[in-house]
Amino acid sequence: MTTQTTAPDTPSTPATGAPSGLVRIPPRIGRAVATVGGALTILSTFLSWTWTADFPGDLTVYGYPGGLQVLVLIGGVLTTLFALASYGIKGLGWLVPAGADAALKFAALTTFATAWYTVLAISVELGGLVNLEPGGYLVAVTSLAALIGALALPFQRPEPDPIDPDDTSWEHFKHRAAHQWATVKAAFTSGTPRPLGKLPSYAEILIIVGILALGLTVFTYGIGTEYDELFIGFLLTAGLGFAALNKAGLISQASQLTARHQNITTCGAFVAAALFPFTQTNDQYATLGVYILIFATVALGLNIVVGLAGLLDLGYVAFLGVGAYAAALVSGSPNSPFHVHFPFWAAVLIGAAASLVFGVLIGAPTLRLRGDYLAIVTLGFGEIFRITANNLDGTSGPDLTNGSNGIASIPNLDILGFDFGAQHDIAGFSIGRFANYFFLMLIITAVVVLVFRRSGNSRIGRAWVAIREDETAALAMGINGFRVKLIAFAVGASLAGLAGTVQAHVTYTVTPEQYLFAGPIPPNSAFLLAAVVLGGMGTISGPLIGAALLFLIPNKLQFLGDYQLFAFGLALILLMRFRPEGLIPNRRRQLEFHEEAEAPTVLSTTGA
């Protein structure tokens, strides 16, 4: 791995040291202020911030950060490290392969946002600034100083075009093209992450293990936040901290490693997920974990329809409901009119097959439509399914689904003598009911990931992508568009039905209200589509991460009451504004949204 000895953003600083950043002070002074501010912020986290333990997290202890202080400490460490790396110190260049200045700005913003949110929360909840101890005042001043110093660093701007725009001669064209290419190259030489140097395979695998361990730690911390203030601070630190790491180029470097060892990364991710129940002392957060996996698996199935085939399906949650109802009817519920109790493997096959049949029946007459028309039809199907299930109560229709009361008292699974409803002791750890279903759902998620990966890399997967990119061109090349889209619809529907069979047993009851188009709590069609777009269309990990965020955040924001969806929607708007390709973007979509930034890299690669 190459070591960076000079700050990549430094060449844009004027030789005279004149101000060139957002804050009009010399960059060298700003860098020093950011460094000192970050170091003092770290120190402040070991002091008391308030005199009373009434504020959640007990911020009265000296010498031991707790609660929100830990998050500010993380931001202060990032700010200090990026500030030191901006000086070109040997041994820190690997931290900023894409440049230190932009990363330092976001790290300082992370620290400032979390610190000032904590100070304001203490003041509001306890009744004024008088409740702050010296540590609280210190962190407010030092985090603000670090942010001001970071904003004094220069921003790279393209140089003005010296060519007369009214000149239409051939010489003007050549000069203008050469100037634009030089501007783009200069702007992105320091902003594009340097290729990761070749490391021994064992070293790269160890780095991947560290990345997965960090991901498990962050997820476990986020899902286990015990009070509302800590979760909001976690969102600020995690969101802005991710942006800082991305600006530093570390996210891109991690993507290179995981792409180089894709099989190891996939297996390691499932191992890390399997360790999650062992980090919990009870089923409180394992409950969220199993629902997140159900939601994520359905979102991954929708990713086949939307992300690979490019079909906008707004009623996809109906296929989840079909699978859940089909499994509930044959799983021994006393409310089922069939009065049968099939083993789980048979219920799984019936649920997946029922969703597959419904997918074909709905797709066959509608997939000749495109765009908005297809979206409207699928939206209508989702509502028709919910209304039909509500009417099959023996009064408005045949007695099949028990109407709005649903199919209740679905028994717990018993597979090979293993009772999923009972608590089990494994290696000294007590695993409860929801943890048992978490492991089962993790196996099903692995199956869905395997199906998505194999189908996406197959001949039919390439046909899906061709249809998504340009259906007319794909038809001209001999691809049977209708058949290819129908297969995508059927595969996606069957995967949703597969998840629905587990959902029926986890929730004990299946009712029509669980399968709305939109609502405050997922899964519903709107949140499923948002999970695919937010995470990254056409990828495997994208919808999984997007679904985890979209399920976890609304559950944690319930204390906001009527403002919950407003805050959540505002966060989604900001994310889509600054990262429209998704959190884990597909390479093709990343080029579409950031064509001007990626062009030099692509051209240099082809030129080589």
Residue in the structure block whose two tokens are 């120190």: 43
pLDDT at residue number 522 = 66
pLDDT at residue number 589 = 58
Please say if the pLDDT value at position 182 is more than 80: no
Query: Does 1.20.120 match the CATH number of domain 284-596?
Result: no
pLDDT at residue number 381 = 86
SS3 content of the chain, % helix, strand, coil (to 5): 65, 5, 30
Please say if the pLDDT value at position 598 is more than 50: no
pLDDT at residue number 448 = 87
Please say if the pLDDT value at position 324 is more than 80: yes
CA distance 409 to 591: 50
Query: How many beta carbons lie within 10 A of that of residue 174, not counting itself?
Result: 10
| 385 in Cβ contact with 313 (< 8 Å) | no
What are the structure tokens assigned to 244, written together? 């800082």
Helix H or strand E encompassing 348? helix 344-366
Average pLDDT, the chain: 80
Residue in the structure block whose two tokens are 């790279």: 156
pLDDT tens digit sequence for 549-594: 888 887 777 777 777 777 777 877 877 777 777 777 766 655 555 5
Q: What does DSSP say about strands 414-415 and 418-419: parallel, antiparallel, or unpaired?
A: antiparallel
pLDDT at residue number 49 = 92
Please say if the pLDDT value at position 330 is more than 50: yes
Q: What's the pTM value of the predicted model, to 2 decimals?
A: 0.77
Mean pLDDT of 67-83: 92
pLDDT at residue number 592 = 54
- Is 10-158+227-251's fold the same as 284-596's? no
- Cα-Cα-Cα-Cα dihedral sign, residues 157, 162, 163, 165: positive
Three-state DSSP class for 414? Answer: strand
Q: What is the CA radius of gyration of the chain?
A: 27
pLDDT band at 117 (very low <50, low <70, confident <90, very high): very high
Q: How far is CA 232 from CA 67, 99, 196, 235, 240, in A?
A: 12, 29, 34, 5, 12
Residues 6+ apart with CB under 8 A from 582: 533, 534, 535, 536, 537, 539, 542, 546, 589
Residues 6+ apart with CB under 8 A from 525: 313, 314, 315, 316, 317, 318, 379, 382, 516, 517, 518
Please say if the pLDDT value at position 498 is more than 70: yes
Q: What residues does each domain of the chain span? A: 10-158+227-251, 284-596
Please state which of the four CATH numbers 1.20.1440, 1.20.120, 2.60.40, 1.10.10 is assigned to the domain occupying 10-158+227-251: 1.20.1440
pLDDT at residue number 115 = 94
